[in-house]
Structure 1
């Protein structure tokens, strides 16, 4: 399916590997929120730059803006203004680059940064439409849940041929920093992790960027990390994500966003 000029919007380096085949076909502009330097780890964004080069894609204007700790600090301290500014910056870049379709991380209630990035993506799409009159097709791909079916005509399932599968496998093997995660996902989803790529209409925010009856996975993980002494405060949706959503919604109203 031809989506026109596309942008791939990922929260963490290595997410692009899930859409390696699509990238090789669409050659999107790639935006990445973080460096991949999570707790006790070094930045891995250089490997993502190599994937971008291999697939003849291009670097976006926002690329490795934060490490995870800096992003958590903003949310913990309630400093939403830099993230609202980032949302406007993303909208400006998408309009300037004449992007027609954005494909970004889905919100899944699994990883806090992924969900926050989905909120920023959706906000940027709304800012682009409301402020600039530039409408974008807003699509998403799952990271932890890996759906294998479509919901409507805007969804795409790309089945890779043998040559592309080999290329994708080599790219994944070279990304040594993420091998434990690859093994975990392969154990859960088998060969479909490599052979199929699914892009769907963006609707995950309506399920996960709302108040939940029970704790999300990232809230449960945060509580465990506090007990282990890695963090002092447990991140939660109500206290640390919802304020950003309110600010983004207020900006959308000011900009007459749809």
Structure 2
């Protein structure tokens, strides 16, 4: 087997494939176009036709000689519970955009910090940098520079740490901060690839509804991590030990059942998703905002067309120089 940087190459009949380690004994197999040999330089420009997730034997590649660095980037503390077992296995560096203070102005970072310590993950340089109120005000006032600074910091982090795989919040139209986090991730990954020529894997996971729900078109390339009973018990204990999310966790389990959370999913993210429009019509956060305005809680509604879309496009332009 020929080695290629962080990746391992093996031949698959007349096509080379790259075996990319995700976590112990789990690999992404990327099939490349037919060619006699693949170099680091050609890999940077090669078109990846197909990749899929499967379990391979440890004999195929020595994981100790192929370190694979991951990052988890989330909008709010607590989102890591959706991928708790992956957190244990990949031990990513974790970035958290806000402190999770919400409308009650009570930060919940401490609970997430405890989970990271227990799983072997670690905090990154962006960790509770904003309150939810600050994100909302920056969105409403279109303070694009605030988010551009976050994008620049995120990009620098991914480059300096040589991150190979990023996982984070899905674009769901449920919470504007969740969606902004996804736009930031997509722009940062694009910037890293353009600046370094490295291929980065970009995954998301839903925070609302079924964990298996894939919002993109590449369901076949999703990473599926089933939990055994021991891993599930650790995940459940972590959830039960997160008092600030007790109501949300109880509601999710009552609606979907525990079995749905015994398999974790990471889905391939579409970097340009949500730049022109959001699927599903009016996002939930607009409907919720309108109700809260009627109740006198909010003064103004955050809207996709007026507030979120212009910011998303500005971030993408910063990453690419254009909209595609």
- The correspondence for 1:160, drawn from 191, 206, 227, is 227
Residue 251 (structure 2) pairs with residue 188 (structure 1): no
- 8 Å contact from structure 2 (residues 186, 271) kept in 1: no
- In structure 2, list runs of 5 or more residues that go unmatched: 1-19, 23-67
Q: 2:48 maps to which residue?
A: none
| Structure 2: distance between partners of 1:77 and 1:40 | 22
| Offset, 1:132 | 3.0
| Structure 1: distance between partners of 2:220 and 2:299 | 46
| Structure 1: distance between partners of 2:249 and 2:271 | 23
- The correspondence for 2:106, drawn from 22, 42, 56, is 42
SS at structure 2 position matched to 1:238 = helix
Residue 123 (structure 2) pairs with residue 32 (structure 1): no
Q: 1:53 maps to which residue?
A: 117
- The correspondence for 2:312, drawn from 234, 245, 250, is 245
Q: 1:210 maps to which residue?
A: 276
- 8 Å contact from structure 2 (residues 170, 206) kept in 1: yes
- 8 Å contact from structure 2 (residues 188, 319) kept in 1: no
Q: 2:21 maps to which residue?
A: 2
Distance 1:241 1:139, change over 3 A: same
- Number of matched pairs: 256
Distance 1:181 1:202, change over 3 A: same
Q: 1:134 maps to which residue?
A: 198
- Deviation by residue 1:84-114 (Cα, 9 ceiling, x = unmatched): 1211110110110111000010011111111
| Structure 1: distance between partners of 2:316 and 2:88 | 35
| Structure 2: distance between partners of 1:185 and 1:122 | 27
Flag the structure with larger Rg: 2
TM-score normalised to structure 1 length: 0.93
| Structure 1: distance between partners of 2:197 and 2:287 | 40
* Aligned-pair Cα RMSD in Å: 2.0
Q: Name which of structure 1's ranges 145-154 and 90-99 shifts more when overlaid on structure 2.
A: 145-154
Residue 235 (structure 2) pairs with residue 171 (structure 1): no
| Offset, 1:41 | 3.7
SS at structure 1 position matched to 2:126 = strand
TM-score normalised to structure 2 length: 0.74
Distance 1:257 1:63, change over 3 A: farther
- 8 Å contact from structure 1 (residues 12, 35) kept in 2: yes
| Offset, 1:154 | 3.2
| Offset, 1:257 | 10
- The correspondence for 1:124, drawn from 176, 188, 202, is 188
Residue 49 (structure 2) pairs with residue 12 (structure 1): no
- In structure 1, list runs of 5 or more residues that go unmatched: none
* Higher relative contact order (Cα pairs below 8 Å, separated by 6+ residues): 1
Q: Name which of structure 1's ranges 176-185 and 142-151 shifts more when overlaid on structure 2.
A: 142-151
Q: 1:225 maps to which residue?
A: 292
SS at structure 1 position matched to 2:180 = helix
| Structure 1: distance between partners of 2:176 and 2:275 | 10
More strand by share: 2
Residue 94 (structure 2) pairs with residue 94 (structure 1): no
SS at structure 1 position matched to 2:173 = coil
- 8 Å contact from structure 1 (residues 28, 58) kept in 2: yes
